[in-house]
Amino acid sequence: MSFMDARDAGSKPGSGGHASAQNEAIDRRERLRRLALETIDLSKDPYFMRNHLGQYECRLCLTLHNNEGNYLAHTQGKRHQQNLAKRAAREAAEKPVLPQPQRRANVRQTVKIGRPGYRVTKQFDKEVGQRSLLFQIEYPEIEEDSKPRHRFMSAFEQRKEEQNKKYQFLLFAADPYEVVAFRVPNIEIEKTAKFFSHWDADSNVYSLQLPFRSTQERPPPVQPGPNMIPSQPGPPQQMGGPPPLGGPPQMGGPPPLGGPPPMGPPPPVGGPPQMGGLPPGAPRPPMPPRPMAPPQGMPPPMQMMQNRPPMPNGMPLPFMRPPPPFPLQGGM
């Protein structure tokens, strides 16, 4: 460039003139490549790959580059930075949430003075059929401004006794006393007003009532409907009393003294005579033999039964069917 051309272009003599936009972009990429080569190690880049053709490939953006400088300039571009942000957001969403390590508090070392006194009372509510336990733990030498605590422990959490799923443990703790545990049935606890704990600071007694859920289900009360008439109790009926005077004897009870036995329907043919008035569980009296044909001069069978003395214990006489008529002597 001549002196006149440089003066017309507005540049100083010897400067070579103004650079075009293309030349400025090339120079900028070259400077970025040199800076990146000094600060970035391509061997640690997970998206940098060289293929079998000698070209460089970005596995994140799926682009091809002729040299390392071109790849480094690509990594500083907008497209590569947006893909990096999308990839980081997707990995954060798909990453499983790991449980954080629990930090245990420093356990205060205290000198234990022994086990506290206790009293356990078994209780039973007859109205609802519910059982409960009342624990009273005495801490006469408890530390000032402290309160006892309690918690439940599974049988599989402790290491003192054999593990049994039928039981659970109730623990009480207060410094400077040792921790005491009680084995209770593994039944669901009813968290109602009956489940309470109380600390009496005057007497230093910690009380806890533990109600268990009742297994008995009471039927719901019957609500009277609009068309239901409430039943009214009638006069009590006397069972087993004497029959009214002047009336017929009651069926199934002892017959009146001095009178004929009650006559009922004949028993079924071929079956034993029916016994009436036997109390439940009483032994059955022996069956009387069937009467034979009386000899001449004897009274008829009905008259014989009337003159027969009554049976013991006030039981009625069994009903007997009269025998068939006797054939005439000599025959027809």
CB 318 within 8 A of CB 273: yes
- What is the phi-psi region of residue 10: left when phi exceeds 0, alpha when psi lies from -120 to 50, beta otherwise? left
C-alpha distances in angstroms, 328 versus 261, 292, 321, 331, 332? 31, 16, 21, 6, 8
Nearest to 73 by CA among 50, 40, 115, 95: 40
Backbone angles phi, psi at 185, to 5 degrees: -60, 145
CA distance 185 to 188: 9
Residue 332: its pLDDT value, please?
44
How far apart (Å, rounded) are the C-alpha atoms in residues 91 and 95?
A: 6
How far is Cα 326 from Cα 291, in angstroms, rounded to an integer? Answer: 13
Q: What is the reported pLDDT for 180?
A: 93
- Asked if 51 and 66 touch (Cβ cutoff 8 Å), the reply is no
Q: Alpha-carbon torsion 58, 63, 65, 69, what sign?
A: negative
Task: Tell me the three state secondary structure of residue 122.
Answer: strand
Domains and CATH numbers, the chain: 3-92 (no CATH), 117-211 (2.60.40)
Q: How far apart are CA 50 and CA 79, in angstroms?
A: 20
Low pLDDT (below 70) residues in the chain: 1-19, 215-281, 289-332
The letter for the amino acid at 171 is L
Cα gap 144→201, rounded to integer Å: 10
pLDDT at 236: 55
Is the separation of the CB atoms in 315 and 285 below 8 Å? yes
pLDDT at 148: 93
How is residue 184 written in tokens? 């209770």
Query: 170: how many CB neighbours lie within 10 A of its CB?
Result: 18
Distance CA 289, CA 273 (A): 12
CA–CA separation, 135 and 181 (whole Å): 11
Please state the pTM of the whole predicted model: 0.37
